[in-house]
Each structure stands twice: as structure tokens, then as C-alpha cells.
């Protein structure tokens, strides 16, 4: 199946700093990418949907100024956690699809963020 690469896998940062997580589709063009957040032993919470070349659509309750999403090309989307705080510590997962309709999403391996 298609491959989605997510980097970094693990990141530890100090409170107040910003962290960028990259999500790349390696062998297909991803028209749409999704960013999820997963708390321990819980399901995936959709944070935002990004379409190449347009602004991301954020889910209710997700701060767009804190979680900056950029989808600059058909193979790359980035999530930047700005002014990170310990409560932002979580497992972030991206996914990508090559088109609308009946295709499945392909997921990255996730990025574990720990804010000290």
C-alpha cells in the first residue's frame, strides 16, 4: 500500500518553544491530509483537514493559532505546535488520501510529543 512518512517519531521540547511535525506521502500525491491527536488509551481525535494550497479546516475546539497546519505541496503537510505547553504532550498522527470517495486513508507512524 501507499506510504506516509511522519517525522520526527519522538520529540521532547521545553515549554514555550514551537515544534514542527512533517507528514509526507512518499509514492502518491495527497490531495487531502488529516491530523489526529491521540491521548493514552483513547481513540483518535481529528484536529484538522488540510487540502493542498488552501487553508486547513479545523475541528471545533481546536485552536488554529496553536496548531498551525500548512499543506504546501501534494506530498507534504506540516503541523506546528506553537508555544507548546505540557498539556500539548500527546501522540500526533497524520493521514493522507489521494482522492475523494471510497479510498482508504494511509497513516503515518505517529509523532510522540513530550513538552517539559
Residues that bind another protein (CB under 8 A): 1, 4, 6, 32, 34, 42-44, 46, 49, 51, 57, 91, 93, 95, 97, 100-102, 104-110, 112
Q: Minimum CB separation from another protein for residue 7, in Å?
A: 12
Backbone angles phi, psi at 14, to 5 degrees: -85, 150
User: With respect to another protein, which residue has the nearer C-beta, 82 or 114?
Assistant: 114
At 68, which helix (H) or strand (E)? strand 67-73
> CB 83 → another protein: shortest distance, Å?
26
The Cα 72–Cα 45 span in angstroms is 23
The residue (of 13 and 45) whose beta carbon lies closer to another protein is 45
Closest contact distance (angstroms) between CB of 16 and another protein is 26
46-54 own/partner pairs: CB under 8 Å, 24+ apart:
47/79, 50/77
Place of cell 479545523: 58
Amino acid at each position: 500500500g501507499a506510504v506516509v512518512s511522519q517525522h520526527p517519531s519522538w520529540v521532547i521540547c521545553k515549554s514555550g518553544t514551537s515544534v514542527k511535525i512533517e507528514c509526507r506521502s512518499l509514492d502518491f500525491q495527497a490531495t487531502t491530509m488529516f491530523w489526529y491527536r491521540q491521548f493514552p488509551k483513547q481513540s483518535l481525535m481529528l484536529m484538522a483537514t488540510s487540502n493542498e494550497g488552501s487553508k486547513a479546516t479545523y475541528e471545533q475546539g481546536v485552536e488554529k493559532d496553536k496548531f498551525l497546519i500548512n499543506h504546501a505541496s501534494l506530498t507534504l503537510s506540516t503541523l506546528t505546535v506553537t508555544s507548546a505547553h505540557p498539556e500539548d504532550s500527546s501522540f500526533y498522527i497524520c493521514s493522507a488520501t489521494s482522492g475523494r470517495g471510497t479510498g482508504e486513508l494511509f497513516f503515518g507512524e505517529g509523532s510522540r510529543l513530550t513538552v517539559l
